[in-house]
Amino acid sequence: MAIVLGPNRYGKAETRLVRVTRDGDTHGLADLNVSVALSGELSATHLSGDNAGVLPTDTMKNTVYAFAREHGVASPEEFALLLGRHFVQTQPQITHARIGIESFGWERIGPHSFRRAGDFVRTAVVDVSSSGSQVVSGLRDLVVMNTTDSEFHGFPRDRYTTLPETTDRILATSVTASWRHSAGVADVEAVKDALVHAFVTTHSYSLQQTLYAMGKRVITDFPGIAEIRLALPNKHHYLVDLSRFDLENPGEVFMAGDRPYGLIEGTVTRDDAPPALVEWYL
C-alpha cells in the first residue's frame, strides 16, 4: 500500500473588486467577489514543499485588480474567461482554472450615485482548460412568494405521516439557479424575469412542479441555454391555529419558519444539449 495525492486545487477566494468607469460626470459600477482555483501538476509542493510551480494566491489577487484596469469588466462571464485563460496560458503547470464570481447589483440614483439592490446576487462560474471552456451563469437569493394557487395533496402516507392535505397554502422560496450555455451568454435579467414569471403563473401542486415549470420556461425561451439547475428551499409558512382563541384563520395569519425547510433540487435540460464538462456536476 502506498499513500498518494489525489485531486487538488488552490487559489485565492473572495477578492472584492469595485470597478468604476468614468464617462465624464457619469460613472458606472461593477461590484464583484472573485474566486480563483487552479489545478494541474502540483504534487511537488504537496510532497516536498517545493513551490516552483505555485504562483502565489497573492498574485491572483493582484491579477484580478490589474485585469480590471487593463480590460475592464464587460460582464462577470467575460472577466472570468479572461482570468481563467490567463492562468492556464501563462502557468505551464496549470491545466485547469475555475473562476467563480458573485456580482452585486446597484441601482443608479444619480450620475455617480448608486443604491445597493438587494433583490438577488448574480453568479458566474467559468472553467477553462486546454481542451475548452465552460460558462455557467446564475443567480441566488431571489426570494418569491405566492400567497395562494399552491396545493399539496395525493402524497403517500406512512406511519410517520401527519401532514394534512391542503388545497391552499403559501408557496415561498429563495431561488438559486445556474445554467450552462451552448451558445452565447443569455441576459441574466431576462432569465430572472422568465424564472419569476413561471413561478408566478404556475398553479402549483408541488414545488417540484414549479421547479420544472421554471426550468422549462428558461430552456424554452433561451435557445443558447443547454441546461439549468435549480435549488429551491421550501420556505414554510405555517397557518397558525387560532381556534384556541375562538378565532378563525382563513389563510391570513402565518408563522414564517426558519428550520427545518424542504429543499427541492432539479435540473431541466434539452435532449440535444451538448455534453457538459465534468465540472458542471461538481
Tell me, yes or no, if 57 is annotated catalytic. Answer: yes
- Cis peptide bond N-terminal to 260, omega within 30: yes
Q: H-helix or E-strand containing 20?
A: strand 15-23
Nearer to a copy of itself, 153 or 183 (CB): 153
Tell me, yes or no, if 203 is annotated catalytic. Answer: no
Nearer to a copy of itself, 185 or 240 (CB): 240
> Residue 97 Cβ, how far from a copy of itself at the closest point, in Å?
14
Contact 270, 223 (CB under 8 A): no
Torsion of CA 35, 41, 43, 48, to 10 degrees: -90
Nearer to a copy of itself, 133 or 147 (CB): 147
DSSP class of residue 41 equals S
The CA distances from residue 13 to 30, 38, 259, in Å, are 18, 11, 29
The amino acid present at 121, given as its one-letter code, is: V
Where in 21-80 is the site for a copy of itself (CB under 8 A)?
A: 21-22, 27, 29, 31, 33, 35, 37, 42, 45-59, 61-63, 65-66, 68-70
> Residue 181 Cβ, how far from a copy of itself at the closest point, in Å?
16
Where in 97-156 is the site for a copy of itself (CB under 8 A)?
A: 106-107, 109-110, 112-120, 141-149, 152-156
Is 190 a binding residue for a copy of itself by CB under 8 A? The answer is: no
The CA distances from residue 111 to 17, 27, 73, 99, 103, in Å, are 21, 6, 19, 31, 21
- Residue from the set 170, 182, 185, 277 that interacts with a copy of itself by CB under 8 A: 170
Out of 27, 45, 57, 112, which one is annotated catalytic?
Answer: 57
Tally the residues of the chain.
282
Coil, helix or strand at residue 279: helix
Task: Match 433583490 to its residue by C-alpha cell.
Answer: 119
Nearer to a copy of itself, 119 or 189 (CB): 119
Nearer to a copy of itself, 34 or 128 (CB): 34
Contact 219, 273 (CB under 8 A): no
Tell me, yes or no, if 12 is annotated catalytic. Answer: yes
Where in 222-281 is the site for a copy of itself (CB under 8 A)?
A: 227, 229, 233-234, 237, 240, 242, 244-245, 247-272, 281
**Active site amino acids:** 12, 57, 236
